[in-house]
Amino acid sequence: MIRHVTSEPSFAKRKARDLLLVPFWNKGSEAQAAFRDVKGVRWNDWGVLRDFKAKEGEAVLYYDHGFKEKRLLLVGLGKEQDATAETFRRAAASAYEKVKGLKIQSLSLLPPVHHKIPHNQVEEAFLEGMLLAAYPLKSHKTGRSRGDADQLSEIALIRSVLAKQEIDALQKLTGAVFYARDLVIGNADDVTPSYLAAKARETAREFASVTAKVLGRSALKREKMDLLLAVSRGSKLEPKLIVLEYRGNQKSTHRTAVIGKGITFDTGGLNLKPTGSIETQRGDMAGAAAALALIRALASLKIKTNVTVVIPSAENGIDSASYKPGDVYRSHSGKTVEIANTDAEGRLILADAISYAIEKFKPAQIIDLATLTGAIIVALGHELSGLFSNDDALAAALTNAGEKTYERVWRMPLPKEYRSSLDSDIADIANSGGRPGGSIKAALFLQEFIGDTPWAHLDIAGTAYLPSKQKYLPKQGTGVMVRLLTRFFQDEADSGSR
Ligand code: BES
Ligand code: MN
Ligand code: ZN
């Protein structure tokens, strides 16, 4: 893991580290230096003479060179006119991939420059890609601990335009992302509802601006959260409703509720998931993990906003005590729900959490994060999260934050016609309306509990948990939505609207 990010004002006087990292643009068939001129070095010779074209993703390591570092790593950025912030994140990830596993503890980076994108944004993106790629994935292999293969712990930015504060902020943000990844990747037997509650309490102890409150089984009964209780009945683990409050703007009464699905393992319940679908379901608390990590990001960055996180958490297990298909339960809101399918459990616990949040906190807006449907993976794959919203301005702001952070979202419709698929003969609503348009129906179910509060639902089933490593994202837990939502709240605070 990269713990130290330092700056050095001079190329000539830099300390000798284990590696010198130099980015290049691809120009026609040649590589061209992609940083501000450094006197006395004919950089372009490196590109031209050494068969390096600087294509996106290209990274070439040299040992035989004239620099004071033992190794020289050239990394390609592709064509300058095609570049966006994401280009730099990805190039940094390719560079990291190349050095990972080598005995490199420190490196010096000549930060790239782009003629149109401001220097600080370019550098931030490159550094962010590097930091995110250097996530120490925990290994359960005997004799290996976390991130053993990766020794890199220091990056020095040569002639950087970034202030120490900007660098610190990036480290805090990526630290929060790692916090979410760890929770998602951790064993389901370890990351239980009680564990999430303990993490929330710990977070409140760590930050003066954060308070935590946890409701256990008896409190949930008192509060009539019967949907959450129903879902939890097939497991011996106690369900929890976790409330975390961040007050970063004491002067304002405005607050956003962020609700995160916290199913610590989803067997499907009596509508048991088949082999092939069940194996990834320890990640079904990725919404909760992102919400918890978001609070840590906001608090450590001291962002001027107020956010209340509500996490309904349970294990959707299987047992003779399990809640049953066909039975009817009363939600916290008073609406009755027929259980059409015990595997549509996420919307049940979210419904209780949403109406609880509205009753107790009267939030100005609600954002929920949930690995809600397999159907969103069919629709959007693993790159884009599904966004459903009853508010165009909120949807636009989230989409924008998604573009900036490249945690992209795609807005999905909420057509009224589909609501009738959730009609029940015996209850106010059923929790499943069949497979076609499954993600939309899940969102329409949630909307029933929202009323007229501006609301956005992010279905992250495809983006929170990956089948394989992607650029700077590890296999499995990505920590998606921590960066997007931090950006969203930062933008909101900057625009002075809160
Ligand atoms: N946790 C799942 C959704 C999911 C699927 C997340 C794959 C990550 C990867 C959710 O609780 C679920 O089971 N949804 C069902 C709903 C259906 C029964 C209406 C689904 O998507 O099949
Ligand atoms: Mn399920
Ligand atoms: Zn689930």
346 C-beta closer than 6 A to ligand 1: yes
Shortest-distance ligand to the CA of residue 313: 3
The answer to whether residue 166 is domain-embedded is: no
Q: Which of 108, 139, 161 delimits the end of a domain?
A: 161
Residues less than 5 Å from ion ligand 2, measured at CB: 266, 343, 345
Sign of CA dihedral 203, 205, 206, 208: positive
Q: Two tokens at 389?
A: 């919203």
How far is Cα 307 from Cα 294, in angstroms, rounded to an integer?
A: 9
- My answer on whether 138 and 197 are in the same domain is no
- My answer on whether 417 and 481 are in the same domain is yes
pLDDT at 107: 97
- My answer on whether 229 and 131 are in the same domain is no
Catalytic residue annotation: 273, 347
280 C-beta closer than 6 A to ligand 1: yes
Sign of CA dihedral 489, 491, 497, 498: positive
Of all residues in the chain, the percent with pLDDT exceeding 90 is 89
- My answer on whether 389 and 489 are in the same domain is yes
Q: Is the pLDDT of residue 455 over 90?
A: yes
The answer to whether residue 236 is domain-embedded is: yes
State which residues form the domain around 419: 172-496
E-assigned strands of 153-224? Answer: 154-158, 210-215
For residues 210-240, b (16+ Cβ closer than 10 Å) or e, as one string?
bbbbbbeeeebeebbbbbbbbbbbbbebbbb
- What does the pLDDT average to over 159-183? 97
> How many whole angstroms from 421 Cα to the centroid of ligand 2?
18
**Residue 244 corresponds to which amino acid?**
L
- What does the pLDDT average to over 309-337? 98
Mean of the per-residue pLDDT values of the chain: 95
Q: Which of 107, 137, 161 delimits the end of a domain?
A: 161
Region class of 404: left (phi > 0), else alpha (psi between -120 and 50), else beta:
alpha
344 C-beta closer than 6 A to ligand 1: yes
Q: What is the CATH number of the domain that holds 465?
A: 3.40.630.10
461 C-beta closer than 6 A to ligand 1: yes
- My answer on whether 316 and 446 are in the same domain is yes
- My answer on whether 298 and 435 are in the same domain is yes
- What does the pLDDT average to over 431-457? 97
Sign of CA dihedral 432, 434, 439, 444: negative
pLDDT at 143: 75
Atom 17 in ligand 1: which residue has the minimum CA distance? 344
> How many whole angstroms from 342 Cα to the centroid of ligand 2?
7
Q: Is the pLDDT of residue 296 over 70?
A: yes
Q: Is the pLDDT of residue 129 over 90?
A: yes
How far is Cα 298 from Cα 143, in angstroms, rounded to an integer?
A: 36
Q: Is the pLDDT of residue 165 over 70?
A: yes
- My answer on whether 109 and 206 are in the same domain is no
50 confidence band (pLDDT: 50, 70, 90): low
> How many whole angstroms from 345 Cα to the centroid of ligand 3?
6
pLDDT at 41: 80
Q: Is the pLDDT of residue 47 over 80?
A: no
Q: What is the CATH number of the domain that holds 101?
A: 3.40.220.10
- What does the pLDDT average to over 464-480? 96
- My answer on whether 87 and 129 are in the same domain is yes
pLDDT at 144: 73
51 confidence band (pLDDT: 50, 70, 90): confident
* Residue 199 counted as an annotated binding residue: no
The answer to whether residue 368 is domain-embedded is: yes
- What does the pLDDT average to over 282-302? 98
The answer to whether residue 167 is domain-embedded is: no
- My answer on whether 271 and 334 are in the same domain is yes
Provide the domain count of the chain. 2
- My answer on whether 177 and 118 are in the same domain is no
Atom of ligand 1 nearest to the CA of 277: 7
**Residue of 330, 332, 323, 328 whose CA lies nearest to 353:** 332
The answer to whether residue 492 is domain-embedded is: yes
How far is Cα 1 from Cα 226, in angstroms, rounded to an integer?
A: 43
> How many whole angstroms from 256 Cα to the centroid of ligand 3?
24
pLDDT at 49: 63
The answer to whether residue 366 is domain-embedded is: yes
Say which residues have a Cβ less than 8 Å from residue 146's Cβ, sequence separation at least 6: 136, 137, 138, 139
Q: Two tokens at 16?
A: 């000798």
Of all residues in the chain, the percent with pLDDT exceeding 70 is 98
Shortest-distance ligand to the CA of residue 460: 1
Q: Is the pLDDT of residue 497 over 80?
A: no
- My answer on whether 145 and 193 are in the same domain is no
- My answer on whether 242 and 150 are in the same domain is no
pLDDT tens digits, 212-269: 999 999 999 999 999 999 999 999 999 999 999 999 999 999 999 999 999 999 999 9
The residue to mutate among 284, 432, 463, 466, having the most atoms of ligand 1 within 8 angstroms of its beta carbon, is: 284
pLDDT at 140: 83
The answer to whether residue 84 is domain-embedded is: yes
> How many whole angstroms from 280 Cα to the centroid of ligand 3?
10
pLDDT at 148: 60
- What does the pLDDT average to over 66-82? 94
- What does the pLDDT average to over 188-209? 98
459 C-beta closer than 6 A to ligand 1: no
The answer to whether residue 420 is domain-embedded is: yes
Q: Which of 109, 127, 161 delimits the end of a domain?
A: 161
340 C-beta closer than 6 A to ligand 1: no
pLDDT tens digits, 409-424: 999 999 999 999 999 9
- What does the pLDDT average to over 394-411? 98
Q: Is the pLDDT of residue 152 over 80?
A: yes
